Structure formats: structure tokens, C-alpha cells
């Protein structure tokens, strides 16, 4: 069943990766504080699971795009990532 327009799930899906990650981090902080009532904790946990799935899908999509860009002649060119930007 699809979520109705304007639903929480639709709002979560419209978040950028960075905003979704920030929201997930805030949820984790709230849950770790232990100050939430059970119903609030469950609602926060549910939202966190939705965000986690969304972020995972976005990362998988990005990974596939990068792999497509790196393919050369049908072969995937695997190159080590250098955080300093220097060539090995």
C-alpha cells in the first residue's frame, strides 16, 4: 500500500542524504539518552529504521553509478581510494 501524500514516509523520502543522516543521528542520540517514553521510543526507532533503509538504498545507488562510470571496455577498473588525493 502506498503512503498517502504528505505522510511522514513521503517527507522522509524527500530528505537529502545529508539531512536524512543528520536526522538519523539525532534519533540515535535521543534513543541513547533513555529519556523517551515507550511509545515515543518506538516511534523514533521506526523512523530510524526507515531512514537507515533509505540511506542504504541511496548509498547502493551511488555505488552503482560510480561502478558504471569506472567501467572501461566492459571491465570494472578497481582503483584504490586515496584520501589525500595523491597517486600511489
Q: What is the mean pLDDT of residues 64-80?
A: 71
The pLDDT assigned to 65 comes to: 83
Task: Answer yes or no: is 61 within a domain.
Answer: yes
pLDDT digits (tens, 9 = 90+) for 23-61: 999 999 999 999 999 999 999 999 999 999 999 999 999
Task: Answer yes or no: is 34 within a domain.
Answer: yes
Task: Answer yes or no: is 46 within a domain.
Answer: yes
CATH classification at residue 62: 1.10.287
In the chain, % of residues over pLDDT 90:
52
Binned at pLDDT 50, 70 and 90, residue 6 comes out as: low
Strand residues in 1-88 grouped as ranges (E)? 71-72, 75-76
Number of structural domains in the chain: 1
pTM of the model: 0.69
Task: Answer yes or no: is 14 within a domain.
Answer: yes
Task: Answer yes or no: is 3 within a domain.
Answer: no
Question: What does DSSP assign to residue 86?
Answer: -
Question: What does DSSP assign to residue 15?
Answer: S
Give the integer Cα–Cα distance in Å for 8 and 28: 18
Task: Answer yes or no: is 82 within a domain.
Answer: no
Q: What is the mean pLDDT of residues 60-83?
A: 73
Task: Answer yes or no: is 70 within a domain.
Answer: yes
Task: Answer yes or no: is 71 within a domain.
Answer: yes
Amino acid at each position: 500500500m502506498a503512503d498517502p501524500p504528505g505522510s511522514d514516509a513521503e517527507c522522509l523520502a524527500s530528505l537529502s542524504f545529508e539531512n536524512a543522516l543528520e536526522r538519523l543521528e539525532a534519533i540515535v542520540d535521543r534513543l541513547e539518552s533513555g529519556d523517551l517514553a515507550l511509545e515515543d521510543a518506538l516511534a523514533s526507532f521506526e523512523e530510524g529504521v526507515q531512514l537507515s533503509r533509505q540511506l542504504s538504498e541511496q548509498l547502493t545507488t551511488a555505488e552503482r553509478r560510480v561502478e558504471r562510470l569506472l567501467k572501461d571496455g566492459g571491465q570494472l577498473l578497481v582503483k584504490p581510494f586515496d584520501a589525500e588525493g595523491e597517486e600511489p
